[in-house]
């Protein structure tokens, strides 16, 4: 059966069907999925029955997988390639990922190998809410004036793990360890997609400042770029169903997980992360 493509919003996002991604996916199908992904930035598969092993196997068809060593406490037991994002308590304690993703961001931007892509699978969800929003950073870049494109071309965004949403509610000892693993790091403010060649803004609410500029100097431009990128006409809002696999390209997309649901209701997701290219440099304390 030929792959079917259904557009989900004007700015980005398509639903793909007609391919059994829980089974054996051939090279032609992988190429078709990759082409749709590069064009639309977010791809959605519905009603998929994925075991952890099947999830990992399908994800590997698109690149090397991260072992999530940057956030070791969030990995699924026995599966370092799977990040567990849930509000379900673990070992009698609140889950460390219960409030994760509550601000606009690209995954692992605070590391020296920011994620190329993420593939998130829903196993449990609350009856209402818990949506995720995505914005098209390539389209946002294209809509900038030529003058602004020239300004951002020379900037390096400094990412700080302290700006990850919900950090203040996590175990202080674990946070101290994560801060040592992930010191502030700078990446180009404009990222070029290695496959499509598309240029995209690479600035998020987890960027503290631009290297060589103060926080006060940087804030107006960071705020403008984030507001510009997340205008409603540039956003797709995904309403989750159990069995959804949603895949997004972190090189051209930011996302935000909404807390618009009853936190007493279980929400459980598993994420594989495709490794991106090594880039960036550590910014020493005081360089802001």
Domain 4-282, CATH homologous superfamily name and number: Clavaminate synthase-like (3.60.130.10)
Question: Where in the chain are the domains?
Answer: 4-282
Q: Rounded to two decimals, what is the model's pTM?
A: 0.94
* Contacts of 56 by beta carbon, 8 Å cutoff, 6+ apart: 65, 79, 81, 82, 272
* Contacts of 240 by beta carbon, 8 Å cutoff, 6+ apart: 122, 125, 130, 131, 132, 246
162-184 per-residue burial string, b: 16 or more CB within 10 A, e: under 16 = ebbbebeebeeeebeebeeebbb
Q: How does strand 14-17 pair with strand 42-45?
A: parallel
Q: How many residues does the chain have?
A: 288
pLDDT tens for the 288 residues of the chain, in order = 699 999 999 999 999 999 999 999 999 999 999 999 999 999 999 999 999 999 999 999 999 999 999 999 899 999 999 999 999 998 888 998 999 899 999 999 999 999 999 999 999 999 999 999 999 999 999 999 999 999 999 999 999 998 887 776 677 888 888 888 889 999 999 999 999 999 999 999 999 999 999 999 999 999 999 999 999 999 999 999 999 999 999 999 999 999 999 999 999 999 999 999 998 899 986 555
Structure tokens at 81: 């390639």
């Amino acid at each position: 059966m030929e792959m079917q493509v259904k557009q989900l919003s004007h700015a980005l996002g398509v639903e793909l069907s007609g391919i059994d991604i829980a089974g054996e996916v051939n090279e032609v199908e992988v190429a078709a999925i990759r082409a749709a992904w590069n064009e639309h930035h977010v791809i959605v598969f519905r009603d998929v029955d994925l075991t952890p092993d099947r999830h990992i196997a399908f994800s590997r068809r698109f690149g090397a997988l991260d072992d999530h060593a940057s956030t070791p406490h969030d990995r699924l037991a026995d599966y370092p390639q799977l990040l567990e994002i849930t509000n379900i308590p673990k070992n009698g304690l609140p889950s460390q990922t219960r409030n994760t993703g509550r601000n606009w961001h690209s995954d692992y931007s605070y590391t020296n190998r920011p994620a190329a892509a993420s593939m998130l699978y829903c196993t449990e969800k609350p009856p209402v809410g818990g949506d995720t929003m995505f914005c098209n950073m390539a389209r946002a870049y294209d809509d900038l004036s030529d003058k602004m494109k020239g300004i951002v071309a020379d900037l390096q965004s400094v990412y700080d793990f302290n700006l990850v949403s919900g950090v203040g509610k996590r175990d202080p000892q674990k946070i101290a360890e994560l801060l040592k693993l992930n010191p502030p790091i700078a990446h180009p403010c404009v990222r070029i997609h290695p496959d499509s060649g598309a240029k995209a803004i690479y600035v998020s609410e987890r960027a503290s400042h631009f290297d060589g500029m103060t926080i006060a100097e940087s804030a107006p431009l960071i705020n403008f770029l984030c507001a510009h990128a997340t205008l409603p006409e540039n956003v797709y809002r995904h309403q989750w169903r159990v069995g959804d696999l949603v895949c997004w390209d972190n090189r051209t997309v930011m996302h935000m997980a909404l807390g618009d649901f009853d936190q007493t209701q279980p929400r459980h997701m598993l994420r594989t992360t495709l490794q991106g290219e090594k880039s960036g440099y550590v910014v020493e304390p005081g360089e802001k």
